[in-house]
Amino acid sequence: MKDHLQGLISAPFTPFDNMGEVNLSLIPDYYKFLKSNGVTGAFICGSTGEGVSLTLAEKKAVAEAWAACSNHDEEFKVMMFLGGTCIADCIDLARHAQQIELYAVSFTGPFYFKPANAEVLASSCKAVAEQVPNMPFYYYHIPVLTGVNIAMYDLLKAIDGQIPNFAGIKYTHEDFMDFQSCMNFQNGKYDMMWGRDENMLSALALGTKASVGSTFNYIAPIYYALIEAFNTNDLKKAGELQQKSIDFIRLLGKYGGISVGKAYMKLAGMDCGEFRLPVKNMSSKDFEAFKLDVEALGFDKFKSCNDQLTNYE
């Protein structure tokens, strides 16, 4: 099995043009932008990437664009989110991801007909993972969206030894007891990638080494400074940086939710268009107010790296 992942893995937005069609031409510049900010990978077509709002053909096209521009960069791992409601489609996407040589695939709990327990969820994972035995396979735990609220510790117990290429879990939930139990399962056998940007400091305290998040798209330097402060035992600074990330994240709630991330990207010089229905997008009037709030938080200072990552105040 591959080594455990480390660093910040972005959950990229899927770029759309002004007609609402996928804008593949932006992806090479997107990749370069993330690389310039020290991001170590991309978790494509997930929640932030509107994977559930893309057709199968669109998801394949997005995957091909990321594979082509990253040129299978050993220091930048591209992971494909497969979905979860249709196992056959997930298998199709997984095989495609393997064909174009992406790093890994990820699957979430079926969220219409839901698995009854951890054993059924494990069987669902196995049905997909065994089709791409040479690729790392990750489970994506995000019960706030899927409603599949099965303890991941129970899933690991059901999966262990049954799925050779099972690599770990993208954990987007607030159950720190469950997360710590998963971290310690079989002496840390599996990757436990943290998925709540606003709680990263707490996850670092439990030993996580890799995180997947949407705000890494546009304020990654804050988190690398946070990690550095934590690693040097400057917990006061680490707490201040976590609060700064929370201040940016609070604006998502103020202005409408997940779609606000694309407004941040526009201010960072990467116009990814709008979200597809049924997600509500920000009005032009709100965007002007949003810009003022963002400016007050010093966004220009945090949106890109320089040589002094840890000097942010």
What's the residue count for the chain?
Answer: 313
Q: Give the integer Cα–Cα distance in Å for 159 and 257.
A: 34
Q: Give the integer Cα–Cα distance in Å for 282 and 212.
A: 25
Q: Residue 180 is encoded by which pair of tokens?
A: 């710590």
- Catalytic residue among 139, 140, 153, 224, which? 140
Whether 270 and 29 have beta carbons less than 8 Å apart is answered as: yes
- Catalytic residue among 77, 170, 262, 266, which? 170
Q: Give the integer Cα–Cα distance in Å for 5 and 226.
A: 18
Whether 170 is a known active-site residue: answer: yes
| Angle at the Cα of 249 from the Cα atoms of 62 and 55, rounded to 5 degrees | 20
Q: Give the integer Cα–Cα distance in Å for 286 and 272.
A: 18
Q: Give the integer Cα–Cα distance in Å for 105 and 68.
A: 17
Whether 112 is a known active-site residue: answer: no
Nearest to 7 by CA among 214, 188, 227: 227
Q: Give the integer Cα–Cα distance in Å for 221 and 307.
A: 11
The residues carrying an active-site annotation are 140, 170
